[in-house]
Structure 1
Amino acid sequence: MGVAIRVADETDRELVVRLLDDAFQDDPVSNWVFPDAAHRRAKHPGLMAAFTDVVLAEGRIDLAEDGSACALWLSVPAAGDHGGGEADTGADTADEDGPAQLRAAVDPDNERVELIGRLTADIHPEGRAHAYLWMIGVAPERQGEGLGGALIGSVLDRCDREGLAAYLEASNARSRALYERLGFELTGSPLDLPDGPRMWPMWREPRGAAQV
């Protein structure tokens, strides 16, 4: 489908945070991090704001022009390559102190805020440079319209042109099915959160020009 997409900037911060908060309130992983619904409503926006700030500073946020969907991307360098720019961060939560700092800023008494960062960092592939789709959020009333696929596809087209792999963690079976249709495959073993849901690490090799 044709979706007008632009790169978000600081003026879009509140829009992106609200969009992610709405999109992930009922996500299995968000429900695991914040099991109590009232507590989740209070603290979840702060977590989405922290993620948004990281990607605004270090990566790229693609935003549907009508504000209905957004995708948060980070550029992860090859192992040993720390040349600067947005490739320096990978996932900021992969930094040794990142998960603890995130917990302190968002919900100090909630160890799961820190744990999710450490567990996803542990399964993140190392070695090859790749584009990391950290999060993609679609307004609940617009889900099922193909917005997510359109947002992701625009970056995957660039990955194909540049010969760049892509990586993500699917947090539910529905999103996993979408990513499989876009060419992602399970890499390694699924991550089973303690007493919680499963996440699927997924990798996509760039497609050759004849396949695009």
Structure 2
Amino acid sequence: MATIHESAEIETATKAEEQQVINTLVLAFSSDPMMRWFYPSTNDYMEYFPEFVRLYGGKAFDHGTAHTLHDFAAAALWLPPDVDPDEDALVALFQEALPEERLAHTFSVMEQLDGYHPTEPYWHLPVIGVGPTQQRRGYGSTLMQYALETCDREGEIAYLESSNPLNISLYVRHGFEILGVIQEETMPPLIPMVRTPRE
């Protein structure tokens, strides 16, 4: 079981703090296999990934479900049941940012993901990350457990897609199960996972 740091004060990030949260996540994902497959160029990554985070998880700021700790050392964006990412805007962003071959693979992945989404109401974790200098201190586990307590209390499913195989063990420790593996040719694996609420 992951250690919960008593000193870790989890805070809800406001809309005004959105950029600070995104900055943390940009650093956290700078070596993520899937995200760097999308944006192998550093310039492209810095230009497009912040907007990807905004479109994929930014609605968390509107619902009070953007969590941070230790002065933005780590952050997690959760979407409550029936709140979805802005898919049309994501498609437009991909069309602007990706070459044709990568774009075709991306659209295929999006279609495959639709088949893994739970059919009943669920909490979605689009993005969670810890700044590179703050990793291996249990901050990711602390943020994860904090949100999952809500899922358990409300009796609702949690769902995520892991873009980095190194994070699978963290998610499994918190009760997530692998649903499958999505992979297109040279693209790193994307792993949808689900967690049923605990009594």
User: Deviation at 1:163?
Assistant: 1.0
Partner of residue 184, structure 2: 193
Q: Which amino acid aligns with 1:100?
A: V
Distance 1:66 1:109, change over 3 A: closer
Q: Choose the corresponding residue for 2:94, options 100, 103, 106.
A: 103
2:121 is equivalent to residue 129 of structure 1 = yes
1:20·1:137 contact (CA, 8 Å) conserved in 2? yes
User: Deviation at 1:65?
Assistant: 4.2
Partner of residue 70, structure 1: 75
Structure 1 stretches lacking a partner, 5+ long: 77-86
Partner of residue 21, structure 2: 16
Q: Choose the corresponding residue for 1:92, options 86, 92, 96.
A: 86
Aligned length: 191
2:34·2:163 contact (CA, 8 Å) conserved in 1? yes
Partner of residue 34, structure 1: 39
Q: Which amino acid aligns with 1:12?
A: E
Distance 1:154 1:124, change over 3 A: same
Alignment root-mean-square deviation, CA:
2.4
1:59·1:74 contact (CA, 8 Å) conserved in 2? no
1:165 & 1:173 partners in 2: Cα distance? 22
2:49 is equivalent to residue 44 of structure 1 = yes
Q: Percent identity?
A: 30
1:131·1:167 contact (CA, 8 Å) conserved in 2? yes
2:55·2:86 contact (CA, 8 Å) conserved in 1? no
**Residues 45-54 or 174-183, more deviating:** 45-54
- CA deviation digits over 1:101-126, x for unaligned, max 9? 3336xx44545578267246424423
User: Deviation at 1:39?
Assistant: 2.8
Secondary structure, counterpart of 1:190 in structure 2: coil
So what's the TM-score if we normalise by structure 2?
Answer: 0.84
Larger RCO of the pair (alpha carbons < 8 Å, separation 6+):
2
Structure 2 stretches lacking a partner, 5+ long: none
2:76·2:129 contact (CA, 8 Å) conserved in 1? yes
So what's the TM-score if we normalise by structure 1?
Answer: 0.79
- CA deviation digits over 1:72-131, x for unaligned, max 9? 10123xxxxxxxxxx2x32333xxx34323336xx4454557826724642442311111
1:40 & 1:72 partners in 2: Cα distance? 19
Distance 1:165 1:133, change over 3 A: same
Q: Which amino acid aligns with 1:35?
A: P
2:57·2:79 contact (CA, 8 Å) conserved in 1? no
Q: Which amino acid aligns with 1:132?
A: H
1:102·1:113 contact (CA, 8 Å) conserved in 2? no
User: Deviation at 1:37?
Assistant: 3.1
- The runs of at least 4 consecutive aligned structure 1 residues that moved more than 4 Å come to 108-114
